[in-house]
Amino acid sequence: KQEVTQIPAALSVPEGENLVLNCSFTDSAIYNLQWFRQDPGKGLTSLLLIQSSQREQTSGRLNASLDKSSGRSTLYIAASQPGDSATYLCAVRRSSNTGKLIFGQGTTLQVKP
Amino acid sequence: DTGVSQDPRHKITKRGQNVTFRCDPISEHNRLYWYRQTLGQGPEFLTYFQNEAQLEKSRLLSDRFSAERPKGSFSTLEIQRTEQGDSAMYLCASSLGDRNLYEQYFGPGTRLTVT
């Protein structure tokens, strides 16, 4: 059974700091991995999607890496800003034949001005 | 694209009542998904449709829950005889299929409170 874990559960950093959010999964047989952002009481915003054959994806100040063999992904945020404060969720998909994303519990990030 | 929309955004109901939520996916997205999220947890998968066919259902989707997508466009999720444990955020997502690697785009959610 696939399980996704995100550590830490919460993180507080000063503005401008570079930071890394971690995501681990127990079954390395995945189709892709997606990182999301969720603001309080809102839906999810897709940030990056990494195919199982890829090592990393970049979008602006965000860089997501994937090490499938070790069951790990990281989300790197450069030069953090107060507007980055949100909960960040990772989710894995087992195959193209399933619609199911399996989510971690998220990391709540606070960036202090 | 106008994004995934959900209606209502908030619903308060008394235990034992039936509720129905609606989701409108991004136009041309052939896959539509429902998830449930409780406070402090990640979303949990409920079910998904490809066009009008319901292809996968979670064991979380008890017989009190039913989802439809009659014309392959919008979808409804109905909960019958609501219980306090049904209180959660119900999220809908859609995707285009293999052209964008099934990347899922989420709506704003419907917050259900059962009193």
pLDDT digit string, tens, across residues B7-46 = 999 999 999 999 999 999 999 899 999 999 999 899 999 9
**Per-residue pLDDT at A96:** 78
- Cis before A82? omega within 30: no
Which of these ranges, A34-38, A45-49, A80-84, B60-64, has the smallest mean pLDDT? B60-64
Is any Cβ of chain A less than 8 angstroms from the Cβ of B59? no
Q: Which residue of B has its CA nearest to A5?
A: B42
Residue B2: pLDDT over 60: yes
Whether residue B1 has pLDDT greater than 60: no
Chain segment B104-114, per-residue pLDDT in tens: 899 999 999 99
Q: Find chain A residues with C-beta within 8 A of B56's C-beta.
A: 98-100
CA distance B26 to B24: 7
pLDDT at A66: 97
pLDDT in tens, B48-102: 999 999 999 998 888 999 999 998 899 999 999 999 999 999 999 999 876 556 7
CB contact under 8 A, A42 and B58: no
Q: Is A89 helix (H, G, I), strand (E, B) or coil?
A: strand
Average pLDDT over residues A20-31: 95
Partner residues linked to B76 by β-bridges: B22, B68
Q: What average pLDDT score do residues A60-79 get?
A: 96
Mean model confidence pLDDT for chain A = 94
Cβ distance B42 to A34 less than 8 Å, yes or no, reads no
Phi, psi of B79 (to 5 degrees): -115, 120
Contact A100 B56 (CB under 8 A): yes
- Residues B24-40, buried b or exposed e (16+ Cβ, 10 A)? bbbeebbbbbbbbbeee
Class of residue B95 by CB neighbours under 10 A (exposed 0-12, middle 13-18, buried 19+): buried
Residue A55 vs residue B99, higher pLDDT: A55
